[in-house]
A and B are shown apart, each in its own frame.
Chain A
Amino acid sequence: MKYSSQMVAKPYFIFALILLAGEILFGLTMSIQYIYGDFLFPAIPFNALRMVHVNLLIVLLLFGFMGSTYYLIPEEAERELWSPLLAKITFWVFVVAGVLTILGYLLVPYAELTRITMNDLWPTMGREFLEQPTITKIGIVIVVLSYLLNVTMTVIKGRKTTISIILLTGLFGLAFFFLFAFYFSDNMIMDKFFWWFVVHLWVEATWELILGALLAFVLIKLTGVDREHIDKWLYLIIAMTLIAGLAGTGHHFFYMGAPGYWLWIGSIASAAEPIPFFLMILFAYSMIKNRRIQDDNKIALTWAKGTAVVGFLGAGVWGFMHTLAPVDYYTHGTQLTAAHGHLSFFGAYVMIVFTMISYAMPILRGRPHGNCEKAQKVELVAFWLMVIGMIGLTIALTVAGVMQIDMQRIPDSAHALPFMVVQSKLTAVYIVRSLFGVMTFVGLLVYFYSFFVKEDKVAA
């Protein structure tokens, strides 16, 4: 560790991992409700579980990005963080706001939560992923702004690199597009249109900039490849991200009341969205091939490669499957969408956070050459358990989606089966999904265990 203020990253990483455990546990609980509808009902209805599941994901990724930034920026700027104290304060503000919101989801019916938090003053609740009470949303804005201030001041006063500029661009984009969460209209179609400005332009535009910058940082550190070379790749990747990703928002506007021209624009632009992810694979493997140093932290490099490959599979391949309008006509809002969502979030964003943690955490814990060989072996087992678990449950959801489309969507109105009938025929597939989910959770537990593995004492 070159700068002592990088230490503020540690609680962010730890809390992100705790939230990930919660996220997976709630996912498993939901998957049981998919099989036994009475499970935990009426104590926690499905929608409450789902809110916790997806909100924990979003918050854990924000914690992960923040921790990663606080670790990365001092090294890139070659100076201490502008205000480590501010970073510590925002950590606790975010923790308290997050925990209170999750408790709110679980302890009172949602309609009650809207009353308690006075949603009527400025209604923003009751939309997928944006279920947070308005007051929590305001809290998120304050936390993100103070984080941006801290990072920006550090960059302004220090060395400016391509990585830090692109990371900052991504973070400003993240902050800007979140403001659309405060948009409200009596017309549901307007609401839906601008809702995507948060959801799509986060995960398929601004977050990809953050992902690219973090991946480039880890690759520089672990391969020692010339910065000029890495910068060039990074620019090409994020150029493709913006060119394809912005107009690619159109693949969400096919069938929700937007003009028909989005069928063409959305299909063509989003067909190019896998390109930046494919470039990331080429980038990672070409850097590793041309590496100048052999870092002892091998597992961090495994995570970096994994991020590029699984990110491409989840976002690129599984995204492309249903991104063309004529295909999406049949697949829109089926389990295939859920399959894509799971593997893309895991592969691109959860895995980049793992990559950063795997690279930075040993250094923050006073092990500049990475964890001991034994701990890295345990972590490698965790890596494969989680990756295979996630790919397995994604394939299960894909099978469920295809069966659903075949029975419910493709036949004409006289022959198509009703939703609930189709779902009851998918139980066996949902059981397989749950089992792979358990595998993922076991992988996470093994990962936690790897933090405590110590090198065997050499017998004298």
Chain B
Amino acid sequence: MTERITKDMARNIYFGGGLFAILVFTGLTFDTVHRIPKLSHASKITKSVVAGKKIWEDNDCVGCHTLLGEGAYYAPELGNAFQRLGGGDKKAFRAYMQGWMAAQPLDIPNRRKMPQFHLTTKQVNNLADFLIWMSKVNDQEWPPNIQG
């Protein structure tokens, strides 16, 4: 098979194909960046959501959990936590989060442990608001069911 392909032909496939791939990918990147604000409801990113995202990052939440399927696989998916744990009700979810974060680490022998992060009431509310915003992102109907 390779006898019919010369080195020059192979090089042209590389440069031509590579350039084509870069152009296609760059074009799609611009289009995606243009569309993400609408798909993610960027207009609903409040100050509290921004603060919640910061708390998510500062505590390396993604080191155990997944968020829209990305992260570590040690603890549950949180992209749909609002529906699963708060039943889609903001007040209920915030209350759940306050209780849950305060109760860590759970005193159940040999269960995987979540550390105590010593967040303030306001910070937990920010985190809840961030997860509520995340839960509304248009992610092509993922996950398949409520368990994430």
Contact = CB atoms under 8 A, between A and B. Distances in A.
A258 B32 contact: yes
A387 B148 CA distance: 33
B38 to A, nearest CB: 10
Contact of B115 (A45, A258, A410): A45
A128 B14 contact: no
A34 B56 contact: no
B115 A416 contact: no
Interface in A262-301: 262-263, 265, 286
Given A247-B21, A254-B140, A192 B68 contact: yes
Contacts of A337: 73
Given A187-B37, A188-B134, A243-B20, A42 B115 contact: yes
B72 A255 contact: no
A189 B144 contact: no
A412 B145 contact: yes
Nearest to A423: B112
Given A242-B18, A420-B76, A187 B36 contact: yes
A257 B36 contact: yes
A227 B67 CA distance: 48
A51 interface: yes
Given A37-B112, A38-B109, A243-B20, A193 B60 contact: no
A110 B63 CA distance: 10
A132 B112 CA distance: 25
B32 A246 contact: no
Interface stretch (A58-66, A231-239, A343-351): A231-239
Contacts of B116: 42
B144 A255 contact: no
A260 B109 contact: no
Interface string B120-148: 00000000001000100111101111111
A231 B2 CA distance: 12
A338 interface: yes
A127 B73 contact: no
Interface stretch (A11-19, A325-333, A368-376, A435-443): A325-333
B87 to A, nearest CB: 12
Interface size class of B (residues with CB under 8 A): 35 or more
Contact of A189 (B5, B66, B109, B137): B137
Nearest to A417: B147
Given A187-B36, A235-B11, A417-B147, A247 B58 contact: no
Interface string A124-152: 01111001000000000000000000000
B99 interface: no
Nearest to B10: A235
B145 A126 contact: no
A366 interface: no
A332 B22 contact: no
A73 to B, nearest CB: 21
Contacts of B25: 246-247, 249
A408 interface: yes
A128 B72 contact: yes
Interface string B43-80: 00100011001101111111110111111111111000
Contacts of B33: 190, 193
Contacts of A231: 7, 10
Given A238-B14, A247-B25, A193 B115 contact: no
A452 interface: no
Contacts of B32: 193, 253, 258-259, 262
Contacts of A126: 56-62
Interface of B: 2, 5-7, 10-11, 13-14, 17-18, 20-22, 24-25, 28, 31-33, 35-37, 39-40, 42, 45, 49-50, 53-54, 56-64, 66-77, 105, 109-113, 115-117, 130, 134, 137-140, 142-148
17 contacts: A33-B112, A42-B105, A46-B75, A47-B60, A125-B60, A131-B60, A190-B33, A193-B32, A236-B14, A239-B18, A246-B21, A247-B24, A255-B69, A256-B69, A259-B31, A263-B140, A333-B77
